Amino acid sequence: MTNALTLRSVTISIGDRRLVSNLDLDVEPGAVASVMGPSGSGKSTLISFIGGHLDPAFNATGKVLIGARDVTNLPPERRDVGILFQDDLLFPHLSVGANLAFGLARSVMGRDARLARVTEALVEADLSGFEDRDPATLSGGQRARVTLMRTLLAAPKALLLDEPFSKLDSDLRRDFRRFVFDRAVAKRLPVLLVTHDSTDAEAANGQILHLGRA
Protein backbone atom coordinates (compact mmCIF):
# COMPACT_ATOMS: atom_id res chain seq x y z
CA MET A 1 0.00 0.00 0.00
CA THR A 2 1.27 3.45 -0.82
CA ASN A 3 0.60 6.62 1.10
CA ALA A 4 0.86 10.36 0.86
CA LEU A 5 3.07 12.36 3.23
CA THR A 6 1.01 15.10 4.83
CA LEU A 7 1.99 18.01 7.05
CA ARG A 8 -0.72 19.92 8.86
CA SER A 9 -0.23 23.35 10.45
CA VAL A 10 3.46 22.78 11.16
CA THR A 11 5.12 25.62 13.02
CA ILE A 12 8.71 25.38 14.25
CA SER A 13 10.52 28.02 16.30
CA ILE A 14 13.81 28.39 18.06
CA GLY A 15 13.74 31.01 20.81
CA ASP A 16 11.68 33.86 19.37
CA ARG A 17 12.65 33.02 15.79
CA ARG A 18 10.03 31.28 13.68
CA LEU A 19 11.54 29.00 11.01
CA VAL A 20 8.40 27.29 9.70
CA SER A 21 5.03 28.96 9.93
CA ASN A 22 1.75 27.10 9.74
CA LEU A 23 2.90 24.83 6.90
CA ASP A 24 0.40 22.53 5.17
CA LEU A 25 1.78 20.11 2.61
CA ASP A 26 0.53 17.03 0.76
CA VAL A 27 3.07 14.95 -1.14
CA GLU A 28 1.46 12.20 -3.18
CA PRO A 29 3.10 8.77 -3.63
CA GLY A 30 5.80 9.03 -6.30
CA ALA A 31 5.85 12.85 -6.20
CA VAL A 32 8.84 14.93 -5.08
CA ALA A 33 8.21 18.20 -3.24
CA SER A 34 11.19 20.50 -2.76
CA VAL A 35 12.01 22.80 0.13
CA MET A 36 14.37 25.64 -0.72
CA GLY A 37 15.81 28.42 1.37
CA PRO A 38 19.12 29.97 2.38
CA SER A 39 21.52 28.47 4.87
CA GLY A 40 20.05 28.55 8.37
CA SER A 41 16.45 28.94 7.20
CA GLY A 42 15.30 25.67 8.76
CA LYS A 43 15.39 23.12 5.94
CA SER A 44 17.22 20.43 7.90
CA THR A 45 15.12 21.28 10.94
CA LEU A 46 11.96 20.48 8.99
CA ILE A 47 13.43 17.12 7.94
CA SER A 48 14.33 16.39 11.58
CA PHE A 49 10.80 17.22 12.66
CA ILE A 50 9.27 14.86 10.09
CA GLY A 51 11.75 12.11 10.93
CA GLY A 52 11.25 12.50 14.67
CA HIS A 53 14.78 13.68 15.41
CA LEU A 54 14.08 17.30 16.27
CA ASP A 55 16.43 18.74 18.87
CA PRO A 56 14.40 19.60 22.01
CA ALA A 57 15.77 23.16 21.80
CA PHE A 58 13.12 23.75 19.09
CA ASN A 59 9.46 24.31 19.74
CA ALA A 60 7.25 22.52 17.20
CA THR A 61 3.52 22.11 16.72
CA GLY A 62 1.45 20.50 13.99
CA LYS A 63 1.04 17.03 12.58
CA VAL A 64 2.90 14.58 10.35
CA LEU A 65 0.80 11.91 8.66
CA ILE A 66 1.78 9.03 6.40
CA GLY A 67 -1.40 7.96 4.73
CA ALA A 68 -4.01 8.07 7.45
CA ARG A 69 -1.44 7.28 10.13
CA ASP A 70 -0.54 10.15 12.45
CA VAL A 71 3.15 9.60 13.27
CA THR A 72 3.72 12.93 15.04
CA ASN A 73 4.24 11.40 18.45
CA LEU A 74 5.97 8.19 17.42
CA PRO A 75 9.69 7.55 17.94
CA PRO A 76 11.82 7.76 14.74
CA GLU A 77 12.08 4.00 14.25
CA ARG A 78 8.30 3.60 14.18
CA ARG A 79 7.60 6.36 11.65
CA ASP A 80 8.73 4.38 8.57
CA VAL A 81 10.53 7.42 7.20
CA GLY A 82 13.81 7.00 5.30
CA ILE A 83 16.32 9.87 5.30
CA LEU A 84 19.26 10.34 2.97
CA PHE A 85 21.84 12.96 3.97
CA GLN A 86 24.59 14.81 2.15
CA ASP A 87 27.29 12.87 3.98
CA ASP A 88 25.72 9.46 4.04
CA LEU A 89 28.73 7.20 4.15
CA LEU A 90 29.00 3.47 3.75
CA PHE A 91 30.66 1.56 6.58
CA PRO A 92 34.24 1.20 5.28
CA HIS A 93 34.95 -2.05 7.13
CA LEU A 94 31.90 -3.84 5.67
CA SER A 95 31.41 -5.22 2.17
CA VAL A 96 28.82 -3.63 -0.10
CA GLY A 97 26.47 -6.55 0.59
CA ALA A 98 26.91 -6.20 4.37
CA ASN A 99 26.29 -2.47 4.11
CA LEU A 100 23.03 -3.16 2.33
CA ALA A 101 22.03 -5.91 4.77
CA PHE A 102 22.49 -3.33 7.54
CA GLY A 103 19.59 -1.35 6.09
CA LEU A 104 17.23 -4.30 5.85
CA ALA A 105 13.90 -4.07 7.59
CA ARG A 106 13.80 -6.24 10.70
CA SER A 107 10.79 -7.99 9.25
CA VAL A 108 12.97 -9.67 6.61
CA MET A 109 13.88 -12.85 8.45
CA GLY A 110 16.26 -15.68 7.59
CA ARG A 111 19.60 -15.65 5.82
CA ASP A 112 18.26 -16.63 2.39
CA ALA A 113 15.52 -14.00 2.40
CA ARG A 114 18.02 -11.34 3.46
CA LEU A 115 20.54 -12.34 0.79
CA ALA A 116 17.77 -12.32 -1.82
CA ARG A 117 16.75 -8.77 -0.88
CA VAL A 118 20.36 -7.58 -1.07
CA THR A 119 20.80 -9.21 -4.49
CA GLU A 120 17.59 -7.58 -5.76
CA ALA A 121 18.76 -4.19 -4.49
CA LEU A 122 22.08 -4.57 -6.32
CA VAL A 123 20.26 -5.45 -9.55
CA GLU A 124 18.07 -2.37 -9.10
CA ALA A 125 21.19 -0.23 -8.64
CA ASP A 126 22.83 -1.77 -11.74
CA LEU A 127 25.49 -3.28 -9.47
CA SER A 128 24.87 -7.00 -9.88
CA GLY A 129 27.65 -9.10 -8.40
CA PHE A 130 29.01 -6.31 -6.16
CA GLU A 131 28.10 -8.08 -2.89
CA ASP A 132 31.68 -8.74 -1.76
CA ARG A 133 33.24 -5.51 -2.96
CA ASP A 134 34.99 -3.16 -0.57
CA PRO A 135 33.13 0.21 -0.70
CA ALA A 136 36.50 1.96 -1.22
CA THR A 137 36.74 0.32 -4.66
CA LEU A 138 33.44 1.85 -5.87
CA SER A 139 33.08 5.02 -7.91
CA GLY A 140 31.28 8.00 -6.37
CA GLY A 141 28.14 7.24 -8.36
CA GLN A 142 28.17 3.57 -7.39
CA ARG A 143 28.59 4.47 -3.72
CA ALA A 144 25.74 6.96 -3.91
CA ARG A 145 23.43 4.32 -5.39
CA VAL A 146 24.33 1.86 -2.64
CA THR A 147 23.53 4.45 0.06
CA LEU A 148 20.09 5.01 -1.46
CA MET A 149 19.41 1.29 -1.74
CA ARG A 150 20.45 0.83 1.90
CA THR A 151 17.87 3.42 2.91
CA LEU A 152 15.19 1.83 0.72
CA LEU A 153 15.83 -1.68 2.06
CA ALA A 154 14.39 -0.53 5.38
CA ALA A 155 11.07 -0.31 3.48
CA PRO A 156 10.29 3.33 4.33
CA LYS A 157 6.87 4.73 3.48
CA ALA A 158 8.23 8.23 2.84
CA LEU A 159 11.67 9.43 1.76
CA LEU A 160 13.35 12.62 2.99
CA LEU A 161 16.39 13.93 1.12
CA ASP A 162 18.63 16.40 2.95
CA GLU A 163 20.89 17.81 0.20
CA PRO A 164 22.05 14.35 -0.91
CA PHE A 165 23.26 15.64 -4.29
CA SER A 166 25.19 18.67 -3.18
CA LYS A 167 28.66 17.12 -2.96
CA LEU A 168 28.46 15.41 -6.34
CA ASP A 169 29.77 17.11 -9.45
CA SER A 170 27.43 17.93 -12.29
CA ASP A 171 27.13 14.75 -14.42
CA LEU A 172 27.12 12.50 -11.41
CA ARG A 173 24.67 14.79 -9.67
CA ARG A 174 22.24 14.65 -12.58
CA ASP A 175 22.50 10.84 -12.88
CA PHE A 176 22.12 10.17 -9.17
CA ARG A 177 19.21 12.61 -8.91
CA ARG A 178 17.46 10.79 -11.77
CA PHE A 179 18.15 7.45 -10.10
CA VAL A 180 16.69 8.61 -6.77
CA PHE A 181 13.56 10.09 -8.36
CA ASP A 182 13.06 6.99 -10.54
CA ARG A 183 13.31 4.67 -7.53
CA ALA A 184 10.80 6.84 -5.62
CA VAL A 185 8.34 6.68 -8.51
CA ALA A 186 8.83 2.91 -8.92
CA LYS A 187 8.19 2.38 -5.20
CA ARG A 188 5.39 4.96 -5.06
CA LEU A 189 7.11 6.83 -2.24
CA PRO A 190 6.31 10.44 -1.40
CA VAL A 191 9.58 12.39 -1.32
CA LEU A 192 10.57 15.67 0.34
CA LEU A 193 13.79 17.13 -1.01
CA VAL A 194 15.73 19.85 0.77
CA THR A 195 18.09 21.74 -1.50
CA HIS A 196 19.92 25.01 -2.09
CA ASP A 197 19.94 24.33 -5.78
CA SER A 198 17.08 25.39 -8.04
CA THR A 199 18.20 22.85 -10.69
CA ASP A 200 17.51 20.04 -8.21
CA ALA A 201 14.11 21.49 -7.37
CA GLU A 202 13.20 21.94 -11.06
CA ALA A 203 14.31 18.37 -11.86
CA ALA A 204 12.03 17.14 -9.08
CA ASN A 205 9.13 18.49 -11.10
CA GLY A 206 6.85 18.92 -8.09
CA GLN A 207 5.75 21.67 -5.74
CA ILE A 208 8.46 23.98 -4.39
CA LEU A 209 8.29 25.58 -0.95
CA HIS A 210 10.49 28.44 0.18
CA LEU A 211 11.58 28.95 3.76
CA GLY A 212 12.50 32.45 4.85
CA ARG A 213 15.81 34.12 5.25
CA ALA A 214 17.93 33.40 8.33
Ligand X SMILES: Nc1ncnc2c1ncn2[C@@H]1O[C@H](COP(=O)(O)OP(=O)(O)OP(=O)(O)O)[C@@H](O)[C@H]1O
Choose among 153, 152, 169: nearest CA to 161: 152
44 binds ligand X (CB under 6 A): yes
Helix (H) or strand (E) holding 29: none
Instruction: In angstroms, give the least distance from the CB of 177 to ligand X.
Output: 18
95 to 114: interface string for ligand X, x by CB under 6 A: --------------------
What's the chain's Rg over C-alpha atoms?
17
Residue of 89, 113, 115, 214 that binds ligand X (CB under 6 A): 214
| Strand, coil or helix: 5 | strand
Question: Closer CB to ligand X, residue 13 or residue 95?
Answer: 13
Instruction: In angstroms, give the least distance from the CB of 106 to ligand X.
Output: 30
Residue of 42, 82, 97, 190 that binds ligand X (CB under 6 A): 42
Span interacting with ligand X, options 1-9, 35-43, 94-102, 105-113, rule CB under 6 A: 35-43
Instruction: In angstroms, give the least distance from the CB of 48 to ligand X.
Output: 7
Asked whether 211 and 41 are in contact (CB, 8 A), the reply is: yes
For the residues of 49-102, what is the DSSP string, one character each?
A: HHHT---TTEEEEEEEEETTEE-TTS-GGGS-EEEEETT----TTS-HHHHHHH
Choose among 17, 37, 11, 87: nearest CA to 212: 37
Site for ligand X in 54-93 (CB under 6 A): 55, 57
Instruction: In angstroms, give the least distance from the CB of 21 to ligand X.
Output: 14
Site for ligand X in 163-202 (CB under 6 A): 196
Q: How far apart are the first and last CA of the chain?
A: 39
Residues contributing to the site for ligand X (CB under 6 A):
14, 19, 37, 39-45, 55, 57, 196, 214
